[in-house]
Amino acid sequence: MFSLQYLGFMYAIGLPPVKANQAKALLYYTFASLSNHTYARMALGYRYFSGISVASNCQFALSYYRKVAKVVEQSYTFSNNPSIQRIRILDETENSGSYHGTLDDDLIQYYQFLADKGDISAQVGLGQLHFQGARGVAQNQYRAFHYFTMAAESGNTNAMAYLGKMYLEGNKVVEQSYEKALKYFKMAADKENPIGQSGLGIMYLQGRGVNKDFKMALKYFSAAAMQGWVDGQLYLGIMYLNGYGVSKDYKAAIEYFKMALQSGHIIAFYHLAEMQATGTGTLQSCSTAVELFKSVCERGEWGTLIMEAHNDYKEGRRSNAFIKYAVLSELGYEVAQSNAAFMLDRDEVGDLFDKHEIYNRAFMYWSRSASQGYSIARVKLGDYHYYGLGTRIDYEMAANQYRIASESQNNAQALFNLGYMYEKGLGLKRDIYLAKRYYDLAAVTSTDAQVPVALALIKLFFTYFYDNFKNLGFKDLFFTPINFGSYLVDNYLGEDWDLYVATILALILATLFFIRRHVAAGGG
């Protein structure tokens, strides 16, 4: 039997055998949220915040996101803090299948070789990767404990501190032991290690294995924060927020939370969101609070579906990958939306949908991704309007999408496309000078655009020359007035004369490049 939230998902995307019905999707999501289903609450939060099939309502969005964020905050531990790898299929494709956010098997094996040979940096690095599960490495507490122990025995203070973390919380590898946690934290802290210092601060703040002592907690957190360690910054913010051993100081709390937020600490996001939602120490802002809570929610354990979807895609299980991306898209994950759109764009979703629906669906996902600030998605929307994919041809709308991407995100492709549309007068008043300006800006913005821009500018020169030459009056031998330039182009080259010119120029450049390489290879 389908759960209410899955029924909501099916109606939201029109997954066979049902037809898309946003009213039914909203109904099922709402009923599921009343039963505390996390996915349904995130889906509703995203819908109300973005105004998808409902009137935009920030307070409703805040209510739903806040409940999910609380679940994430309460489940947070040192090890239960999954690193979400937001891999874009488009980026991988353009970089020949490589992605710098993950480590390939050969590199991991190399680090393991170094670690087994006694390389302390490799031991600590592998320990950290396995401790939390990051950069494509699966979480494995056995391996983490193994590598941390090896490095700690060699005197590495980071490894000592991480062993303290493992004993402080306990897991399936080691039993919780405040005594051992205190031992390892102190060994590290005595050598000025900020991880060990913040670990001791937590024990004194919460009275875990020691008597509560806010003064000692403040001392250790301050020492860790002075070295830029994120946990020290976070807990100083918590102390100032609640007045633990210090006078309440919301301004100081916000400053420390912002420091921790820069390192991506999800609990810092949570506390800042609460302060924005309630107007504590700052102006109340529903939209800012929702954005912060949304970031917290997207770091929940369900976010690991992104890596699962990516693995499915790489291993050829395209339909499975798309369904997972579609689920996460409903929850508001922008990367999942762009990946779902990319797969639809390339018709890589198997037989899930009728072929005539593909571009309509891709257009929807590109739209959602673009509204969350992804510049390439905004350019894609321009392309869809330009070519009439999933929507009608609308040059004015296409130009508008390119303009948004160029002005707010400085996208080189958008700048180039705007230049072309000004050159041709498509959706915009024809203006050769503005065309050149946008072509130039594209070249400055990206080195990859310099060659196509060079070709476009040469072609633009010929366009300018032709426009002026076309208006010159000439007389033939019988003194019959004709417009020689117009006659030559219109009768022999046609409307696409500029494409012929661009092709000839490209061939000339390619020939020159070939000759240059040939001469260089011959040493002459």
CA 134: distance to chain centroid? 16
> In this predicted structure, which of 125-134, 228-237, 441-450, 474-483 has the lowest mean pLDDT?
474-483
Q: 471 vs 6, which has greater pLDDT?
A: 6
Q: Which two tokens stand for residue 339?
A: 């990946």
Beta bridge partners of 475: 481
Q: Are 344 and 359 within 8 A, CB to CB?
A: yes
Q: At 493, is the pLDDT very low, low, confident or very high (cuts 50, 70, 90)?
A: very low
Q: At 129, is the pLDDT very low, low, confident or very high (cuts 50, 70, 90)?
A: confident
Q: What are phi and psi of 482, to 5 degrees?
A: -135, 160
Q: What are phi and psi of 481, to 5 degrees?
A: -70, 125
The one-letter amino acid code at 268 reads: A
Helix axes 375-387 and 395-409, enclosed angle (nearest 10): 170
Q: Are 181 and 209 within 8 A, CB to CB?
A: yes
Residue 305 has pLDDT above 80, yes or no: yes
Domain ranges of the chain: 4-75, 89-243
Which pLDDT score is estimated for 128?
83
Closest CA to 349 of 136, 22, 89, 100: 89
Q: What are phi and psi of 330, to 5 degrees?
A: -65, -30
Beta strand segments in 331-434, E: none
Mean pLDDT of 359-368: 96
Which pLDDT score is estimated for 132?
76
Residue with tokens 């991991």: 108
- Cα–Cα dist 435/415, whole Å: 9
Q: At 401, is the pLDDT very low, low, confident or very high (cuts 50, 70, 90)?
A: very high
- Cα–Cα dist 454/509, whole Å: 10
Same topology, domains 4-75 and 89-243? Answer is yes
The one-letter amino acid code at 119 reads: D
Which pLDDT score is estimated for 492?
43
Cα end-to-end distance, the chain, whole Å: 76
User: Which region holds residue 97: left if phi is over 0, alpha if psi is between -120 and 50, else beta?
Assistant: left
Handedness of CA 164, 170, 171, 174 (dihedral sign): positive
- Cα–Cα dist 423/443, whole Å: 16
- What is the CATH number that goes with domain 89-243? 1.25.40.10
Which pLDDT score is estimated for 236?
97
Residue 142 has pLDDT above 50, yes or no: yes
Average pLDDT, whole number, for the chain? 86
pTM of the model: 0.83
Mean pLDDT of 92-103: 60
Closest CA to 260 of 222, 232, 285: 232
SS3 138: coil
Name 285's Cβ contacts closer than 8 Å, sequence gap at least 6. Answer: 276
Q: Are 259 and 227 within 8 A, CB to CB?
A: no
The one-letter amino acid code at 129 reads: L
Q: At 127, is the pLDDT very low, low, confident or very high (cuts 50, 70, 90)?
A: confident
Beta bridge partners of 481: 475
- Cα–Cα dist 379/123, whole Å: 44
Which pLDDT score is estimated for 488?
45
Closest CA to 265 of 38, 76, 67, 66: 76
- Cα–Cα dist 43/47, whole Å: 6
Q: Which two tokens stand for residue 145?
A: 């404990």
> In this predicted structure, which of 69-78, 133-142, 206-215, 353-362 has the lowest mean pLDDT?
133-142
> In this predicted structure, which of 120-124, 253-257, 289-293, 506-510 has the lowest mean pLDDT?
506-510
Handedness of CA 147, 149, 154, 158 (dihedral sign): positive
- Report pLDDT digits (tens) over 184-240: 999 999 999 999 999 999 999 999 999 999 999 999 999 999 999 999 999 999 999
Q: Is the peptide bond before 452 cis (omega within 30 degrees of 0)?
A: no
Residue with tokens 């919301």: 250
Domain 4-75 has CATH 1.10.3720.10: no
Q: Are 398 and 385 within 8 A, CB to CB?
A: yes
